[in-house]
Chains A and B, each alone.
Chain A
Amino acid sequence: GENVEQHPSTLSVQEGDSAVIKCTYSDSASNYFPWYKQELGKRPQLIIDIRSNVGEKKDQRIAVTLNKTAKHFSLHITETQPEDSAVYFCAASSGGSYIPTFGRGTSLIVHP
């Protein structure tokens, strides 16, 4: 089955800095890569996703890049703000089961 590794587990930045979270996956058949943000005590919310036919996708301060050859994808947050503080999960959907496998999460802390 699919295996997703996510790094780092904790990321601490100053407000205004950029943050990058990286994930690798094992199943070359995976074709859908969503990112979720989970604030303390709340549900995971989809913030951006990318499909295997696209190399990069951007939405305001958030961008995701995908390298299919190396089997890794990354979340980039620019001009971080304190409200970006949360746990971020990456996931990969294998073409077989369609059920996403999640990384273990990255706790992002943005210091004012």
Chain B
Amino acid sequence: KAGVTQTPRYLIKTRGQQVTLSCSPISGHRSVSWYQQTPGQGLQFLFEYFSETQRNKGNFPGRFSGRQFSNSRSEMNVSTLELGDSALYLCASSPEPGLAGTDTQYFGPGTRLTVL
């Protein structure tokens, strides 16, 4: 099976702009989670989508939003970009979180966002 893919891989934006990142999970995986990775803060959970519904949400401002489509592909959007939003954004997919043996997350390569 093909792994988790993310587009674009690199993005440069300026403060105040908005950005949309895309994630395609492994075929058959229904859950997609998003993480922000920065050198100082490690992997911070943003939100998780399952069957087009946001099931879990991390502690991020409302500028960060997402959605999931019927084919399980997911997008995340960041509006009114700030310098501090510069980070690697990772998505991860899993078949069925909460079900032993099918809850392992597999990560995509990430999108490196730089905000100038």
A residues within 8 Å of B by Cβ? 31-32, 34, 36, 42-46, 49, 51, 89, 93, 97-105
**Least CB separation from B110: chain A residue:** A43
A34-B104, A42-B109 known; A98+B98 contact, CB < 8 A: yes
Who on chain A is nearest to B105 by CB? A100
Chain B residues touching A, range = 20 to 34
Query: Nearest B residue to A6 by beta-carbon distance?
Result: B42
B77 interface hit (Cβ, 8 Å): no
Q: A31, A97, A100 — which one has the most chain B CB atoms within 10 A of its CB?
A: A100
Q: Is the CB of B56 within 8 A of A99?
A: yes
**B103 & A43 in contact (Cβ 8 Å cutoff):** no
Q: Is there a chain A Cβ closer than 8 Å to B43's Cβ? A: yes
Complex CA gap A47/B106 in Å reads 11
**How many inter-chain residue pairs (CB < 8 Å) link A and B?**
46
Classify the secondary structure of A's interface with B. strand
Taken together as a complex, chains A and B put the C-alpha atoms of A43 and B89 apart, in Å, by 11
Instruction: List residues of chain A with CB within 8 A of the CB of B64.
Output: none
A-B CB contact pairs (8 Å), 30 listed: A31-B100, A32-B100, A32-B103, A36-B107, A42-B109, A43-B107, A43-B108, A43-B109, A43-B110, A44-B43, A44-B90, A44-B107, A46-B105, A51-B100, A89-B42, A93-B103, A98-B56, A98-B98, A98-B103, A99-B33, A99-B45, A99-B56, A99-B97, A100-B105, A102-B42, A102-B43, A103-B42, A104-B41, A104-B42, A105-B43
Binding site for A on B (CB under 8 A): 4, 33, 35, 41-43, 45, 48, 56, 90, 97-98, 100, 103-110
List 11 extra interface pairs beyond A98-B56, A99-B45, CB under 8 A.
A31-B100, A32-B100, A43-B4, A43-B108, A43-B109, A44-B43, A46-B104, A46-B106, A89-B43, A98-B98, A99-B97
Closest CB in chain B relative to A37 CB, distance in Å: 11
Across the A-B interface, the 3 shortest Cβ-Cβ residue pairs: A98-B97, A98-B98, A104-B42
A-chain residues with CB within 8 Å of residue B110 when the two chains form the complex: 43
- When C-beta atoms are compared, the residue in chain B nearest to A102 turns out to be B43
- Residues of B close to A97: CB separation below 8 A: 56
